[in-house]
Amino acid sequence: MQNILEFPEVLRLIEDRSAAFRAAIASAPDLDVQVPTCPDWTLRELAQHLGDGRRRRRQAAIVAAGPGAEPPARTDPKGAPTAPRDDEALDAWLAESTELMLDAMREAGPDRGCWTWWGRSQAPETSGAVARHQIQEIAVHTYDAQLTQGAAQPLPTDVAVEGVDEFLTTVSATTVPWPFKPATIDLHMTEGRSWRLTLNADGVRCDDLAADAEPGDMTMRGAASELVLYFYERVSLDGLETTGDTEPMEQLADWDPNA
C-alpha cells in the first residue's frame, strides 16, 4: 500500500476542508441546534471540538512533541479554551486553530515520528500519517455541519479517494486477531481503485486487490464519498452496492479491537 498524495497536497486539502467547515459554520443561522450525525453536540460544540482539537493541546502538540509512547500531556490548567461566541471572532479562532496545526506539520515534515493511537495498524506513526487522518476528520465534520443546515455535499473527489485508502489502512487494519469467522471483503470505488480486506487470526490486513483475484466473501462498491461516509457511520450500508455475505462487514463495523 502507498499514500496517494504527496505531503504538500495533504496540507492543502486540510486547508481546503478547514475553510469549508468555517464557511458552513459562518452560514448557520443558529449555532445552538443539534447536529443529527453527532447528536450529543450542537453546531457550536462541533466548532469547539474541531477548533480546540487542532491546537497545541492536541494535534499540533502531538506532532510537535515527536516520538513517544504516550501523547503529550495537556498543559492548559484551565482546560480547553472556549470558542468565541461572536461570529467573526469564532471564524478567526477556527482559522488560527488550523494554522497552529499546519505550522507544526510543516516544521516536522511528513516523516517525523510522533505518537498515534493506531500503532497496531498498517499506517506509520508519523506526522504525515497524522496529516492524512486530519483531512478525513475535518472533511467528515464539514459534512456534519452542512447536513445540519440541510445542505450536505458529497466529499470532494480527491479528499474521498484519499479517504478510502486512509481509513482502510489506519482504522480497519490491525494485528489484533479477528475474533469471528475468517473472511475476505473486496471494496471497489467507482473512481477506479479496489482493495481487499483479509480478516483472520493474524488480524485485519488491507491490500490492493489483484485484477485476477477470485471474488471475496463480500463485495462492496460505491463512490469514494459514499464509502468514506459509510465508514464514519454517516450513511448506511443499504446505500452501497453489495454482493455476498454482509455479516463480516457488519461485524467489522461493530468490533473494537482495543476493547
CA distances, 250 to each of 174, 220, 221, 233 (Å): 17, 12, 15, 11
pLDDT in the model for residue 151:
95
Mean pLDDT of 180-200: 97
pLDDT in the model for residue 53:
86
Per-residue cell: 5? 498524495
pLDDT of residue 198 exceeding 70: yes
CA distances, 120 to each of 33, 91, 225, 232 (Å): 38, 37, 26, 20
Q: What is the pLDDT of residues 118-135, one digit of tens each?
A: 999 999 999 999 999 999
pLDDT of residue 2 exceeding 60: no
pLDDT in the model for residue 56:
58
pTM here is: 0.94
pLDDT in the model for residue 1:
47
Cα separation of the two ends of the chain: 27
Q: What is the pLDDT of residues 183-192, one digit of tens each?
A: 999 999 999 9
